[in-house]
Structure 1
Amino acid sequence: MNQSDPKVEAQTARNVTLVGAALDSVLGLIKIVIGLVANSQALIADGIHSLSDLLTDGLVLAANYVARQRPDQNHPYGHDRFETLGTMLLGTLLVAVAGGLIWDSIGRLGQHHQLEAGAIAISVAIFSVLSKEWIYRYTLKVAEKLNSPLLKANAWHSRSDALSSVVVLIALVGNMLGYPWFDQVGTLVIGGMVAHMGASLVWGSLRELVDTALPEADTQAIREQAMQIEGIRGVHRLRTRTMSGRTLLDIHLQVEPHISVSEGHEIGVWVSHQLRSQFDDITDVTFHIDPEDDTETDSPDPTRMRPLRPEVMTLLQARWSSDQIWSGIERTTLHYINERIDVDLFYSRTHLTCEEIEEVQQRLQQAVHDLPWLGQIKVWVGAPNA
């Protein structure tokens, strides 16, 4: 699991984004200048696309800076949603740029211009393909190391630039071969590719913002890992959501109903450790220990809720105070199971035989038979360990 310092991560993301921004600046200016000289609308459009990337690079820098801040009182889960928001805005900008390119290209479909300085234009397109492919691989490597969806989106944005430059290259070659309409068609294809990439980013960000769960296969893998911990009898109400590449989950763990609270909690701690160890993206686990499967109990029925200890002990005191066994009870443990309350009584004296213990249990059970929520009464002989 990635345990790097957020400041180091932010600096690493900043560096790779600045490299990409410098490359976009150089490529954008070269493409526009050569496009004007060569009379290539596709190359000019690709240059505008590269310069527009400076806006997205700035957005990535700002969103990454905020998202890498440590949790605070107002944002106890961290600031990762700012990265998600940045990704959505980046996608929106791409769709807007694509719309402009497509609209301009449609208006020029009937205007055929002969390509000038074709060799230079083709050389620029080839350089663009190679350089954008390099920055794609560089950015993606850093994004995977930091598990950053925003950087991954920016990496794939660079890949879309490389592909668009391939389309420009084809358009330029087609124009030189006597098919000038290749230029406008190439611009349309570029616009479609950019629009598709932008829409994909927006859709993915929206799914994260509305807390869409992990795919069923991932959820099943989490459930299977939790079941490997000794003491787990069942897993239910497993809920997942993502925040900028991090997975947060809530999980209900069913354990043996008569174990202690501390043992149940320790089992939950082990489940949390297991999940964090096996899944690098899981950073927050909230577990709930259950003595039984409460999958169907979305909200408790007030008429079926059982009384808590103060009321239970008051009622038991009223029923058993006249019984001599009551004065020797050192501790009472309540088990809320199957909509009833089982009671364990720890008796400090040790002179009772098995037959006498059985008789005491029956006598105490009979004294509270009219309490509908009361389950089984058990008497344990010998003072319990404090």
Structure 2
Amino acid sequence: MTDLIVRLFVPHADDIADAAVRTRYGLVAGVTGIVCNVLLCVAKGAVGLLAGSVSIVADAVNNLSDAASNVVSLLGFKLASKPADANHPYGHGRFEYLAGLVVAALVLAIGLNLAWSSVQKIVAPEPVEFSWALVVVLALSILVKLWMAAFNRTLGRRISSDTLEATSVDSRNDVISTAAVLSCAVVSQVTGLQLDGWAGLAVGVFIVWSGVGLVRDTVSPLLGQAPSPELVEHIRKRIMSYPGVLGTHDLMVHDYGPGRQFASAHVEMAAEADPMESHDLIDNIEQDFKDEDGLIVTLHYDPIVTDDPQVNDMRNWINQAVKQIDARLTIHDLRTVPGPTHTNVIFDCVRPHDLALDNDELRRRVSELVRERYPRCICKITIDDSYVSSRQ
């Protein structure tokens, strides 16, 4: 069913790097969700009012809020597709993240409201009228929401959308809440126990817990989270795959919304090579990233002396030695300035953010390692913070 809907309503569906295709996915998901949720709200609302069940009415209101969430998601995709302008040169892609945050906040608010209504029902319980119409409507609701959860999860993963992933989680929560309501209605009919309020409270607590997680997940990209280890490794491997590239470091990735990422990095190349050829290679790497990954990359050329065996040996030794302090430490841009009494060894050291040592202590530890091997050398170390995930 999902593939059929995509084929019917999303032209060029495989070209997910195209902003227009991505927007079309969002519109299809939003309209589908609005239609399904409004129908479920009407059906469950009618049954809940007739049965006098606070949990079923709350479940119906939950579907209505889901429809509102779908409207928010739809608007988010539409606004995110706006092109860049003078005030927003990187586009409007973060509207999609904002839409995801609004959906998460709505989920949290619904959970709190349901929990409060359920507490009132526990304090003042009222009998719930059982009917087969109630069973049929709730069972159909579970089936529809199961499909919606899978539908939004599939589309969300296909276009890497946190908003659709959040909508999928919300639909999953609806399955759990409706199943709990149905189970308690059956148990109450069989045993006579009034479990309606308790069922609503359990569902409300679960939705609140889920909403908190969704808020955390949707806030992270807005705050500027580290790029995924997979993306970091992909960029590193692609850069290193070009002949003449000796190393890369200082990678930074800026996320302005799905499909709108910008990256910068330093590329080490032989200082003895023709600078015009090196510059041309860097231009080609940047263009290849844009053409093949839709990623705008800016590369900085770092010339490295390669015809001095002593400097090469020192660079390799120090790069391995610093891993005695922490396996994630690396160095780059090493050069030496010999003098009559000592040699200055100048290089950068990249530290992960969670390293226990502060910058001064790290400089001291690295300097001691180097002095043990090269007694005449004095280290001049610049500490660089890593802007990529330490999980790589």
- Structure-2-length-normalised TM-score: 0.68
Contact 1:150–1:244 (CA<8 Å) still a contact in 2? no
SS of the residue 1:108 aligns to: helix
Q: Which residue of 2 aligns with 1:259?
A: 273
Contact 2:90–2:256 (CA<8 Å) still a contact in 1? no
Q: Which residue of 2 aligns with 1:290?
A: 302
Q: Distance in 2 between matches of 1:179 and 1:225?
A: 67
Aligned Cα root-mean-square deviation (Å): 2.8
Task: After TM superposition, give the deviation of residue 249 of structure 1 in Å.
Answer: 2.2
SS of the residue 1:239 aligns to: strand
AA of the residue aligned to 1:98: G
Q: Distance in 2 between matches of 1:117 and 1:337?
A: 78
- Written as runs of structure 1 = structure 2, the 5 A alignment for 1:179-328 is 180-216=193-229, 218-246=231-259, 247-272=261-286, 283-292=295-304
Q: Distance in 2 between matches of 1:225 and 1:4?
A: 19
Q: Which residue of 1 aligns with 2:164?
A: 151
Contact 1:237–1:252 (CA<8 Å) still a contact in 2? yes
- Written as runs of structure 1 = structure 2, the 5 A alignment for 1:58-207 is 58-178=71-191, 180-207=193-220
Task: After TM superposition, give the deviation of residue 218 of structure 1 in Å.
Answer: 4.6
Task: After TM superposition, give the deviation of residue 31 of structure 1 in Å.
Answer: 0.9
Change (3 A) 1:196 1:250: farther
Task: After TM superposition, give the deviation of residue 337 of structure 1 in Å.
Answer: 9.0
Contact 1:6–1:69 (CA<8 Å) still a contact in 2? no
Task: After TM superposition, give the deviation of residue 195 of structure 1 in Å.
Answer: 1.9
Q: Which moved more, 1:50-59 or 1:149-158?
A: 149-158
Contact 1:232–1:253 (CA<8 Å) still a contact in 2? yes
AA of the residue aligned to 2:156: A
Deviations 1:89-131 (A, max 9, x none): 2211221121111111122213333331332212111101101
Number of residue pairs matched? 296
Contact 1:276–1:283 (CA<8 Å) still a contact in 2? yes
Deviations 1:37-82 (A, max 9, x none): 1222211111110011122122112111110122233222221111
Contact 2:15–2:21 (CA<8 Å) still a contact in 1? no
Contact 1:88–1:205 (CA<8 Å) still a contact in 2? yes
SS of the residue 2:281 aligns to: helix
Change (3 A) 1:237 1:110: same
SS of the residue 2:249 aligns to: strand
Contact 1:67–1:80 (CA<8 Å) still a contact in 2? yes
Deviations 1:168-194 (A, max 9, x none): 222222222226443222212222232
Q: Which has the larger radius of gyration?
A: 1
Contact 2:240–2:246 (CA<8 Å) still a contact in 1? yes
Q: Distance in 1 between matches of 2:276 and 2:157?
A: 39
AA of the residue aligned to 2:126: H
SS of the residue 2:298 aligns to: strand
Contact 1:99–1:195 (CA<8 Å) still a contact in 2? yes
Contact 1:28–1:50 (CA<8 Å) still a contact in 2? yes
Q: Distance in 2 between matches of 1:285 and 1:217?
A: 17
Contact 2:34–2:68 (CA<8 Å) still a contact in 1? no
Task: After TM superposition, give the deviation of residue 277 of structure 1 in Å.
Answer: 8.0
AA of the residue aligned to 1:168: V
- Written as runs of structure 1 = structure 2, the 5 A alignment for 1:326-365 is 338=335
Contact 2:263–2:298 (CA<8 Å) still a contact in 1? yes
SS of the residue 1:259 aligns to: coil
Task: After TM superposition, give the deviation of residue 6 of structure 1 in Å.
Answer: 3.0
Q: Distance in 2 between matches of 1:119 and 1:25?
A: 22
Q: Distance in 1 between matches of 2:55 and 2:228?
A: 40
Q: Distance in 2 between matches of 1:290 and 1:199?
A: 45
Contact 2:253–2:262 (CA<8 Å) still a contact in 1? yes
Q: Which residue of 2 aligns with 1:16?
A: 29
- Structure-1-length-normalised TM-score: 0.69
Q: Which residue of 1 aligns with 2:51?
A: 38
SS of the residue 2:191 aligns to: coil
Q: Distance in 1 between matches of 2:126 and 2:150?
A: 36
Q: Which moved more, 1:2-11 or 1:169-178?
A: 2-11
Give ranges in structure 2 of 5+ residues lacking alignment: 1-13, 306-332, 338-392
Change (3 A) 1:134 1:77: same
AA of the residue aligned to 1:268: I
AA of the residue aligned to 1:252: H
AA of the residue aligned to 2:298: T
Q: Which moved more, 1:83-92 or 1:150-159?
A: 150-159
AA of the residue aligned to 2:93: D
Q: Distance in 1 between matches of 2:238 and 2:17?
A: 25
SS of the residue 2:216 aligns to: helix
